[in-house]
Amino acid sequence: MSTARYTQLPPSYDDGAANNSAAEIGGAALRPGQPENSDDIPDDFKYGVTVGQSEISIRHDFIRKVYTILTVQLLATTAVGAYLRHIDATSGFLLQHVWTVYAAMAGTFVSMFGLWWKRDSHPTNVVFLSTFTFFEAYVVGAASAFYSSTVVLQALAITLGLFIVLTLFTMQSRYDFSNLGPILFFALCAIIMVGLVQIFLPFNKTFDLIIAAVTAVVFCGYIMYDTYMIMNHFTPDDYIFASLALYLDVINLFLAILRILSDRD
């Protein structure tokens, strides 16, 4: 058969095999559509990528979720606290039924354990978070029911002001606040030990004021520490735990400031 009418010879199969062999040297051959390296994979599909390493849109979405949940938690806590305060018989009821406060405190630990257990199960984790917020709101409302409305409002305003300032400062700062972790943990353990002693051997008003002031400083530090850790060590899927950490910081700071203002009088 004549080959005169063909203007180009067919490609050599040996050349194709050589090219494939060269592509496979040092690793497996790439499949069609497979990225050449990990940098070609979008951030929201990478496993274990922190919020700070994610794309801007993912970071903004994470921040929106965290602070929306936190706002709802604080509003719910404020609503429960206001309801308990506006019931005239609340103080008498709490004095006669102290067990309800201890039951609510136990409920916070149980719901927190459930939240940790089902942290990746949606919406079960949201249910546990809501349950935790309700119990914590009852405890905070019961504690604030024994203070005047003026003191409670002052403590609330100071707490929110400090939280906003510390959050903005931490987000704009380049300091590594993770170094505060061991110091804050040691200080918190010391505060807990002093609190346990105070249950059985009450301190005088001046010493209680000092402890309350130290507690407020510690949780101001925790706000900066947790904000930094949330942005630099949490993944975009950890928004539930991020809001929980900040909520606990705000609540404990509020209770400490409440003690400071009441001891001052």
Report the distance separating Cα 208 and Cα 258, nearest Å.
Answer: 12
For the chain, percent of residues with pLDDT exceeding 90: 39
Mean pLDDT to the nearest integer, 125-152: 88
pLDDT score, position 257: 95
pLDDT score, position 88: 60
pTM of the complete model: 0.78
Tell me the pLDDT band of 14, cut-offs 50, 70 and 90: low
Q: Which of 11-20, 37-46, 80-89, 236-245 has the highest mean pLDDT?
A: 236-245
Provide the residue count of the chain: 265
**Is the alpha carbon torsion for 14, 17, 21, 23 positive or negative?**
positive
- C-alpha angle 19/25/29, rounded to 5°? 70
Going from N- to C-terminal start, the domains of the chain cover 52-264
Mean pLDDT to the nearest integer, 203-221: 92
Tell me the pLDDT band of 64, cut-offs 50, 70 and 90: very high
Contact 80, 141 (CB under 8 A): yes
pLDDT surpasses 90 at 229: yes
